Every structure is written in structure tokens, then in C-alpha cells.
Amino acid sequence: MEAEKFLNSYHSAKLEEERLRLVRCALKDENITAPDEEMAEKQKLKESAMMSVIDAIELMPDGARKTVLTYRYINNMKLHEIADKMYYSEVHVSRLLKKAVKDFARIQK
């Protein structure tokens, strides 16, 4: 699903940044120069992806669906965490998330 891939782009960039941070730490332990330029470029990509996702989510008309997308794709929360925070059942959050992703895909077209 293209919408979900877009929503996950921020999370993917965040994971890549973490991987580079770990490499950087390992290189420092070995007194080797870390890839600072690559790290800065990845940070820029992550910030750009995050702003794109946030801007797109803001276009959602429904507040609950907007909230569930933000919790899931920006805050990287699990379904049970979202359910606790929103005072919904996990099943309801799952349904809400599916509808939100479909709405998001429709808005992105």
C-alpha cells in the first residue's frame, strides 16, 4: 500500500539514523573517523520525511483518525499503547487505523 509506505518513511529514516549512530559509536571505540557528512545527510532526510508525513496527516479531516496516524507513524506507538492513550479497545484502534490509512491514501491522490 503506497500510503502506508509513505507513512512509514519517517520511521525508516529514523531506523537508518540509529544504525548510523551505532556505526559511529563503534568507529569511535576504534579511534576511526565517523561518517559525519553521511550522518548529517541522513538527519536532513529524516527531518524532511517527518515534515512531509506530518503535513500530510494534518490534511486529515477526522480528528480521531489524525490522532491514530500521528501516534502510530510519528510517535511509533504500538496498537495497545494507542488504545490505552485514547481509551479505546485495541480492536477499535486497529479498525480506526485501517480506515485512517485508506482515507490518507484517498487524500494523497
Structure confidence at residue 67 (pLDDT) = 94
Q: How many domains does the chain have?
A: 1
pTM recorded for the entire structure: 0.67
Find the domain containing 51 and state its range: 2-108
pLDDT tier, 35 (very low <50, low <70, confident <90, very high otherwise): low
- Residue 54's pLDDT is 84
Contacting residues for 27 by C-beta, under 8 A, at least 6 apart: 33, 34, 35
Mean pLDDT over the full length of the chain: 80
For the chain, what percent of residues have pLDDT higher than 70?
73
Question: What angle do helix axes 90-108 and 2-29 make, rounded to 10 degrees?
Answer: 100
Helices (H), the chain: 2-29, 36-58, 63-69, 79-86, 90-108
Residue 27 has pLDDT above 70, yes or no: no
- Residue that wins the pLDDT comparison between 35 and 87: 87
Q: What is the pLDDT of residues 50-98, one digit of tens each?
A: 788 888 888 888 899 999 999 998 888 999 999 999 999 999 999 999 9
